[in-house]
Amino acid sequence: MTTRLIKTATATLFCSAALIASGAQAAATPGVGNKTVNAVTQKVYDNPSTTEKEMGVKTLQDYIVQEKELFDFLFENHPVFKYAAEGRIKGVYKVSTRGSEFLGEGNAQKYTKAAGAKPSASQYRPSASQYRLAAKSVLDFPNRFVGPERCGECHAIQYQKWKRSRHAQTVRFPGEHPEVDNDLKKKLYGSQASILPDGIMPDVIYGTIGTPRTKYGFIDKWLVRGSYHVRDGLLSKGTGTLVAGGNQFSRGWAQWLTPEKAKEIQKVVPDFPTQLSEFGPSASHQWGMTSYGSTFEQTLLVQSATSYCEVCHAFKFDFKSKDEFFKALGNAEELRKHTVSRGIACEECHGAGGHLVGAESNGFQTNCERCHQRSNFVESDYKLPSAQGKLEKGFNIKTKSSCPSCGTEGSQLMMSKHYEKGMRCVTCHDPHEVTSNDWKDYYTKPAIRKTCQDCHKTQSDVVANTNTHQKMDCVDCHMPFTMSCENFTAIQRPDMAGFDAVRRSHLFKIMVDPEKKMMNPGEGQSRKSNSKGWHVARDEEGHGYVDLMWSCARTANAEKGVMDNKGCHSLFLSELEKGLQYGDQKTIYGEVMKWQNPVKEGHKIAKATLERINKLLEVTKLTVEAKTEIMLLVDKAADIVKQVEEDGSWGVHAPDYLKQRVDTANAYLTQAQKILDNGNFPLIKTEAKK
C-alpha cells in the first residue's frame, strides 16, 4: 500500500511538473504545449494574401490557409491533446503546420527580408526557401487523382518500371511488408526495435513511411506524422504515457552501428556515444529506434501529413467532399479504402489525370525538384565575390545538423558546374525506373541512362589504364554518400566523413586540399557537430565540392561501391592494410601529392620544352627529313600534354599510367631537341659598338 502511494505521488508530481513546464512554454510561444499555431502561420491566417478565389490558382498562402480547418479538427480529436490534458505526456508538443514548414524552414524569413519584403507592408508576402508544394493536396476537394493503375492501362512500360521502384513503396499499408513477413512488430537485425514503435499497433496507423534501405516511420489514422511512442500502454486504447521520440526505426543503428561498433569508434573518436543516454535528442529507449521529427522525451511534433509528409511520401484519395474526408479521418480502414494513389506515382509529376485533362496537367516529364531540391538560404553565400551580388546564389543545401539532409541532391546539383552546363536530374536518371535493383535491398542501384563516360571521354580512357582503383566507378569517388536521412547530430562527424551517410552527393568536384572542408558551420561557430548553420562550402567560382575525406575515407556502410571495394580507406570499414586507412584529410592529401607531383612536374617540363622547341623550329635550318621527324615527335608529346590537361586529375585517375605518359612525352621531346641541336642557325647581324 505504501509503495503504491509513493508511486501515485511520484506520478502526480511528474504530471504536475510536465503541465507546469508545458504551461510556461505555452504562455511564451504559440503552438508549444497549446492548441494554437505559430505566430508566422497565424499572421497568414489573419491577413491572407491569396489568389485562388480571384484567379482560380492556388499559391503559397492559399496552401497555408487551406490547412486551418484540418488543424481545428485535430485540436479537438487527436489523442495527443487528450494525453496532454490528462498529464500523461512525456515531453512538450509543438504544433507544426504548412506555415511552420514553408515559412519557418530553410531560413525562409531571412530570404524574404533579403528580397526586400517589409513585414509592415500591407502586401507583405513571405516566401519559402525549400519550394516543396505538392502538385495537388489531399485537401483539394473533390480529389481528382485517378491513380497509377489507370495510367498503366495505356502506359504499360512506364508503369511496370515504376511499380518495382522505391518510389512506389514510400507509403505502404499494413499487410504490404514482405521484408518482415507482414509483422510490423517483428524485431529487426538482432535489435529490440521493430518497424512500429512501442504502443503503436497496425490498427492505429494509416501507413508506414520508408523501405528497408534506411528507415521506417508511420502516419497515424488522423494523418498526423508519428513523432511519438506510447509507454506502458496502447494508443488504440488511450492507455499509458505518450512519449516524445523513440518513433523511427533506423537500419544503420540497428544493423551496423551496434553498441560494439560504437565502442570501436570511440577508441578513435573519444566523445562518440556508446550508451543510449549519450545520444542526446536523437536517442531512444531501445537501440535501433531513434527520435526523428522530435527529441527524445523532450518535444514532439503535432504535424499533419499535409504539412510535410505528403510532399514527398505522397498519397491521394477519391473523396468527393470535405465532409466525406473529415468523416473518415480517424478511421484507418476508411482512409485506406478511399486511397487511389500512394508513393511518388504518375500524377505527382504529370498532374492529376495527366494529359487526359489537358490544362490540368503540368506537362512535366519529371518533377524531381519537389522532393530533391531542399535548400537553406545562407546570407553569406550571395555576398561572396563569385556570387556577384545575385540573391539566388545565397541558396545552399538544406541541413538539419552537420551533414546534408535527405532530398538535397538537386540543391547540390545547382551548386555544381554541371548544372551551369545544362545537366538536370533526367539527364542521367530515368524518372520511371528510379530503382533498378530490388527495392528491398540495403543499397540503391538507380537506372542510369547517361553515364559519366558519355561526356568525360578522356577521363574514361585514362581510368581504363589504372592499376590502383580498377574495380571502382566514377561515382564512387566523385559522388560519395554524404547525406543523412536522419538528424543524428550525436554521431555525425563531418571531419571524419561519418557516420550517418546514406545518400549520394551531387557536387562532383573533388577539392584536393589538406584543409578545405565540404561541410562548414555558420560564422563564428566551432566544428562540433552540434554547432549551427552548417552548409556546403564553395570554391572560388562559387561551386560546391567534396573534400578528400568524404571522397576517400568516408564511413558509409550502406554504399555498395564502398563495401564492394573493401571499405575503401575508412578507419572503420576498410579491409586494406593499416597504412591505407586514413583518419584525417592531411594524410590523404600527402598520399595524393605522391601521385600528382611527379605528373605535374613532368607536365611542366614537357609544356616548357614544347614551347622552346616550337620557337626554335622557326629559326633553325633543318632538312625536310629532320623537320618532319621533329614535328612527329612534337605532335606525339603535345597529344600527351593535352590528354593530361583534359583528364584534370594530375595522376589520381591512373598514377602509374599518367607518370609513364609524361615521361614518354619528355622522351619524345628530348629526341626532338637532339635533332634540333644538329641543325644550323642563321647568323644574326649586329652592329659593332663604337
How many whole angstroms separate alpha carbon 668 and alpha carbon 463? 23
Per-residue b or e along 171-182, where b marks 16 or more CB atoms closer than 10 Å to that residue's CB: bbbbeebeeeee
pLDDT value of position 12: 40
pLDDT value of position 678: 87
User: Is 439 a residue whose pLDDT tops 60?
Assistant: yes
* Segment 557-616, tens digit of pLDDT: 999 999 999 999 999 999 999 999 999 999 999 999 999 999 999 999 999 999 999 999
Phi/psi-derived region of residue 662, left when phi > 0, alpha when psi is between -120 and 50, beta in every other case: alpha
User: Is 307 a residue whose pLDDT tops 90?
Assistant: yes
C-alpha cell at 136: 495537388
> Which residue's entry shows cell 605522391?
594
pLDDT value of position 488: 83
| For range 470-482, the mean pLDDT | 96
Q: Map residue 142 onto helix, strand or coil.
A: coil
User: Is 19 a residue whose pLDDT tops 50?
Assistant: no
Output the CA angle 655-660-666, nearest 5 degrees.
Answer: 130
Name the more confident of 276 and 689.
Answer: 276
> Which residue's entry shows cell 510532399?
311
Name the more confident of 145 and 649.
Answer: 649
How many whole angstroms separate alpha carbon 301 and alpha carbon 248? 13
User: Is 3 a residue whose pLDDT tops 50?
Assistant: no
pTM, rounded to two decimals: 0.91
pLDDT value of position 15: 44
Q: How many CA atoms lie within 13 A of 163 on its CB side?
A: 12
| For range 296-324, the mean pLDDT | 95
Q: What is the mean pLDDT of the chain?
A: 91
| For range 128-141, the mean pLDDT | 85
By DSSP bridging, strand 546-547 and strand 510-511 are parallel
C-alpha closest to that of 553 among 524, 527, 591 = 591
* Segment 651-681, tens digit of pLDDT: 999 999 999 999 999 999 999 999 999 877 6
| For range 261-278, the mean pLDDT | 94
362 pLDDT tier (thresholds 50, 70, 90)? low
Other C-beta atoms lying within 10 Å of the C-beta of residue 531: 16
pLDDT value of position 646: 98
Q: Map residue 309 onto helix, strand or coil.
A: helix
136 pLDDT tier (thresholds 50, 70, 90)? confident
Q: Residue 510 carries which DSSP code?
A: E
Report the largest interatomic distance among the alpha carbons of the chain, rounded to a whole angstrom: 127
How many whole angstroms separate alpha carbon 635 and alpha carbon 631? 6
User: Is 448 a residue whose pLDDT tops 50?
Assistant: yes
pLDDT value of position 681: 63
Write the CB contacts of 143 (distance below 8 Å, at least 6 apart in sequence).
136, 316, 317, 318, 319, 320, 340
pLDDT value of position 679: 79
117 pLDDT tier (thresholds 50, 70, 90)? confident
User: Is 135 a residue whose pLDDT tops 80?
Assistant: no
C-alpha cell at 448: 542510369
How many whole angstroms separate alpha carbon 166 and alpha carbon 342? 11
Name the more confident of 682 and 224.
Answer: 224
Name the more confident of 225 and 682.
Answer: 225
Percent of the chain scoring above 90 in pLDDT: 82
pLDDT value of position 10: 39
